Amino acid sequence: MAAEKMSLSKAINASLRTALESDPKVLIMGEDVGKLGGVFRVTDGLQKDFGEDRVIDTPLAESGIVGTAIGLALRGYRPVVEIQFDGFVFPAYDQIVTQLAKMHARSLGKVKLPVVIRIPYGGGIGAVEHHSESPEALFAHVAGLKVISPANASDAYWMLQQAIGSDDPVIYFEPKRRYHDKSEVDTAAIPGPLHAARVVRPGADLTLAAYGPMVKVALDAAAAAAEEGKSIEVVDLRSMSPIDFDTIQRSVERTGRLVVVHEAPVFLGTGSEIAARITERCFYHLQAPVLRVGGFHSPYPPSRLEDEYLPGLDRVLDAVDRALAY
């Protein structure tokens, strides 16, 4: 039970295994999650050990997966469903938005819907269309849903445990290009609050806020900036609904500058909300406007162009320089 170095995908697998072991009401559902172990092998070995009744291969119908998960939750189960890729969630979007998100409120709290929807998301793996999107803002905008994304193996393990334990529906975005990144996971640790942001690198001159796959880019940017004598603080948001504005605020009150980085299009994205709220909260502390770095207002491009579309080290450093120039 001690700390162990494992990849982010293995941490999710371990987390699912722990959940299946500790609560007989937990179910895994999705396309190819059984014998294949998922197209990313995240559910590898689970059906073998827990059976087809607990780890359920479903028909290829996303609305059906989420809609039946809702019914199972109404019966007292805790389904953890896998949507194979980010761009495939939209057939289920109606069930998620009109039913899953609202049923607790509709019933005046009488029914609970502990459904977790795992979605491998984001680009950088050279995939074809619909396999690299970052639709988190579309879910964070919907009241009734919680939206989270781990950036490392430890968070991947613990945040999924906490999501499964939550009585609210949780959209759990997995940064697929970080699946193979390894880090320490202490499965005996006591995790912090699920929706708390975390300062992952302290600094004095500027705050970089990121989540999921972009935390690594932000940390790399901070390290590169340090070589030029700039002290960058990096905050891993971890949760996009709710967003821990208090932690960002405390950081910005120290540094006076904020740059938000995410893969999703900048327009009306998570960064827009953070820029607006932090401007309200930190108006007299800000020495520069809050800047955002992210995807463009275009469909996710063919993979040969994705390095231009995705925020990389240079685009992040450029924004850092612009903010520091004020």
Partner 1 sequence: MTVESTAARKPRRSGAKRSTTARDAKKQPEGQTELVQLLTPEGERVEHPEYAIDPTPEELRGLYRDMVLTRRFDAEATTLQRQGELGLWASLLGQEAAQIGSGRALRDDDYVFPTYREHGVAWCRGVDPTNLLGMFRGVNHGGWDPNSNNFHLYTIVIGSQTLHATGYAMGVAKDGADAAVLAYFGDGASSQGDVAESFTFSAVYNAPVVFFCQNNQWAISEPTEKQTRVPLYQRAQGYGFPGVRVDGNDVLACLAVTKAALERARTGQGPMLIEAFTYRMGAHTTSDDPTRYRSPEERELWETKDPILRLRTLLTREGLADDAYFAELERESDALAKRVRDAVRAMPDPDDMALFEHTYADGHALVDEERAQFAEYQASFVTAEEGI
Q: Could you say which of 17, 102, 250, 285 contacts partner 1 (CB under 8 A)? A: 102
List the beta bridge partners of residue 108. none
- Based on the shown chain and the rule CB under 8 A, indicate whether residue 144 belongs to the binding site for partner 1: yes
Alpha carbon dihedral 155, 179, 241, 3, in 10-degree steps, equals 0
Nearer to partner 1, 3 or 111 (CB): 111
Give whole-number Cα distances, 277 to 67, 246, 249, 266, 271, in Å: 34, 10, 9, 16, 10
Q: How far is CA 228 from the centre of its chain?
A: 31
8 binds partner 1, rule: CB under 8 A: no
- Among candidate residues 130, 131, 262, 285, the one labeled active-site is 131
Minimum Å gap between C-beta 91 and partner 1 is 8
Quick one: angle between helices 153-165 and 8-22, nearest 10? 30
**Of the candidates 18, 32, 36, 77, which one interacts with partner 1 according to CB under 8 A?**
77
Closest CB to partner 1 among 197 and 219? 197
Q: How far is the CB of 161 from partner 1 (least distance, A)?
A: 14
Q: Is 78 in the site for partner 1 (CB under 8 A)?
A: no
Using CB under 8 A as the binding rule, whether residue 98 contacts partner 1 is answered as: yes
Residue closer to partner 1, measured from CB, 169 or 175: 169
* Contact between residue 8 and residue 178 where contact means Cβ atoms under 8 Å apart: yes
Nearest approach, Cβ of residue 240 and partner 1 (Å)? 11
Tell me how far, at minimum, the Cβ of 186 lies from partner 1, in Å: 24
Residues 6+ apart with CB under 8 A from 62: 83, 88, 89, 90, 91, 92
Nearer to partner 1, 71 or 299 (CB): 71
What phi, psi does 98 have (nearest 5°)? -85, -20
Give the nearer residue to partner 1 in terms of CB position, either 58 or 134.
58
Single residue of 195, 216, 238, 292 touching partner 1 by CB under 8 A: 195
Q: Tokens at residue 231, please?
A: 């002290």
Q: Does residue 168 belong to the site contacting partner 1 (CB under 8 A)? A: yes
Binders in 35-74 for partner 1, by CB under 8 A = 53, 58-59, 61, 63-64, 66-74
- Which one of residues 15, 166, 207, 270 is an interface residue with partner 1 (CB under 8 A)? 166
Question: According to CB under 8 A, which one of 94, 186, 253, 318 is a site residue for partner 1?
Answer: 94
CA dist 110 and 43 (Å) reads 32
Q: Closer CB to partner 1, residue 184 or residue 244?
A: 244
Tokens (6 digits) for 129: 């269309």
Edge to edge, the sheet with strand 232-236 lists 198-201, 232-236, 206-210, 258-265, 291-295
Q: Binding residues for partner 1, how many (CB under 8 A)?
A: 46
Which residue in 239, 246, 271, 267 sits closest to 258, CA to CA? 271
The CB density around residue 45, as the number of other CB atoms within 10 Å, is: 12
State yes or no: is 262 an active-site residue.
no
| Residue 186: DSSP 8-state | E
Instruction: Decide whether 144 or 295 has the Cβ nearer to partner 1.
Output: 144
List the one residue out of 16, 2, 55 whose CA is nearest residue 186. 2
Footprint of partner 1 on 209-268 (CB under 8 A): 241-245
Q: Is 67 exposed, middle or buried (0-12, 13-18, 19+ CB in 10 A)?
A: middle
- Contact footprint for partner 1 (CB under 8 A): 53, 58-59, 61, 63-64, 66-77, 91, 94-95, 98-99, 102-112, 143-144, 146, 166-168, 195, 241-245
Show which residues are catalytic.
Answer: 131
